[in-house]
Amino acid sequence: MQDVPMKRYTSMKVGGPVKYLIYPLDESDLIAALTHLKQEGIRYRFFGNGTNVIVDDRGINEAVIRITRMVHTRHRATENGAYVDVAGGVSLRTFILHESEKGLSGLEKLYWIPGTIGGAIKMNAGSFGSTISDTLEAIRIINGQGIVKTVPKNELLFGYRTSSVHTSECVVSARFYLTARDKKAIQKDMAYVYGERKKRHPMEFPSSGSIFKQVHGTPAWKFIEQAGLKGYQIGGAQVSQKHANFIINRGYATAQDIKRLIDTIKKEVFEKLGVTLHEEVELWGFDG
Ligand SMILES: Cc1cc2nc3c(=O)[nH]c(=O)nc-3n(C[C@H](O)[C@H](O)[C@H](O)COP(=O)(O)OP(=O)(O)OC[C@H]3O[C@@H](n4cnc5c(N)ncnc54)[C@H](O)[C@@H]3O)c2cc1C
């Protein structure tokens, strides 16, 4: 697809067009696309569910590759659980739900994080004290040269919302080790996680989740609240009243409204509290 507006694909519901939006159907298709882009000198990025990305209103003159049509899951049972191979484009939420139905446990605290497996690994997504890397064994990547590699967890340098997955590398699949547990107990934990998220997060509005990272273990919302910014609005972008580290789109926000609000929060928090906030979300295309 050409000149596709990213507002249709990001959870914040803003963003201008990308040059190409490519959906490979399998690994050889992906390698062919990467080879073609390289030959044509077209820059590219990988994209999952767009839940941690804010794209500028002007869009980006690049290709975006989305592997959400490459979906598979394979199980190899062991005495106490199973090794599970899952495609990078699979929705994390759906994966956790399906594994719970099989009585396989280990990812339930991440339930309802709205990304894909690939996006979650790149960001080392986490919640309720758990991260995606906890039960991960290895990933399969395809790099910009079209080379396929298996990378074990200890080489992925996972940190707080970071990994060593490079922007030119696609996480095509991941292997988790999940342990056997009573299905009802797993689903009870998932229901708890969902309930807490619903209580704390402004799920009724488009957003990108937490905008800023914690600062030395202190959640960013505390600083934003202390700076008196809860509810502060620029255009259609507003600091959520429910969770001050969420910026919500009131329905008419532009990417520029959101960027201006992010810059204002950083400035005010620094001036009032001497604290420097760093974005957890990725901003695409704002630098020109
Ligand atoms: C309501 C809401 C709640 C959220 N709650 C949480 C939370 O509790 N904890 C948390 O950690 N995050 C949370 N997030 C943020 C977000 O869901 C996670 O960061 C998620 O892991 C991003 O996945 P994605 O597929 O949407 O990635 P995208 O936003 O599409 O991309 C994010 C990054 O991953 C890269 N990427 C995507 N797919 C691949 C791939 N296959 N291979 C290589 N790189 C890839 C992209 O290039 C980009 O760099 C929340 C977001 C929302 C909207």
Q: Is residue 206 part of a domain?
A: no
Which of 51, 66, 81 lies at the terminal end of a domain, its last residue?
Answer: 66
Q: Categorize the per-residue pLDDT at 108 as very low, low, confident or very high, splitting at 50, 70 and 90.
A: very high
Cα–Cα distances in angstroms (integers) from residue 265 to residues 49, 62, 115, 247, 279, in the given order? 26, 29, 25, 10, 11
- 205, part of any domain: no
8 is catalytic: no
Please report the pLDDT score of residue 227 as a whole number. Answer: 98
Q: Quick one: 46 and 99 in the same domain?
A: no
Q: Which of 17, 41, 66 is the last residue of a domain?
A: 66
Question: Percentage of residues in the chain with pLDDT exceeding 90?
Answer: 98
Any catalytic annotation for residue 28? no
Q: Are residues 10 and 119 in the same domain?
A: no
Residue 81 sits in a domain whose CATH number is 3.30.465.10
112 and 231 both lie in a single domain: no
CA distance 117 to 5: 23
95 and 176, same structural domain?
yes
Average pLDDT over residues 262-286: 98
210 lies in some domain: no
Structural domain contains residue 213: no
Please tell me the predicted confidence (pLDDT) of residue 287. Answer: 78
How many C-beta atoms lie closer than 10 Å to residue 218's C-beta?
Answer: 10
| Distance of alpha carbon 68 from alpha carbon 31, whole angstroms | 15
Do 180 and 247 lie in one domain? The reply is no
In a domain, 212, yes or no: no
Residues 86 and 193 in one domain: yes
The pLDDT-based confidence of 1 (bands split at 50, 70, 90) is: confident
Catalytic site residue from 99, 108, 169, 280: 280
The identity of residue 247, as a single letter, is I
Q: Is 132 domain-assigned?
A: yes
Tens digit of each residue's pLDDT (9 = 90 or more) over 60-99: 999 999 999 999 999 999 999 999 999 999 999 999 999 9
pLDDT tens readout for residues 151-185: 999 999 999 999 999 999 999 999 999 999 999 99
| pLDDT tens by residue, 115-142 | 999 999 999 999 999 999 999 999 999 9
How many domains are there within the chain?
Answer: 3
Mean confidence (pLDDT) of the chain: 97
Q: Which of 100, 173, 210, 240 is catalytic?
A: 210
Residues 43 and 101 in one domain: no
**CA distances for 79 relative to 51, 97, 134, 178, 187, angstroms:** 36, 22, 20, 11, 22
211 in a structural domain: no
Residues 279 and 231 in one domain: yes
| Distance in angstroms (rounded) separating the CA atoms of residues 11 and 3 | 19
Question: In this predicted structure, what is the pLDDT of residue 288?
Answer: 52
Look at residue 256 and tell me whether its pLDDT is greater than 70.
yes
Model confidence at 25: pLDDT above 70: yes
In testing the pocket of ligand 1, which one of 21, 26, 51, 139 has its CB within 8 Å of the most ligand atoms?
51
For a substitution probing ligand 1, which of 123, 132, 193 has the most ligand atoms within 8 Å of its CB? 123
Residue 233 structural domain:
220-284
Residue 268 falls in the annotated catalytic set: no
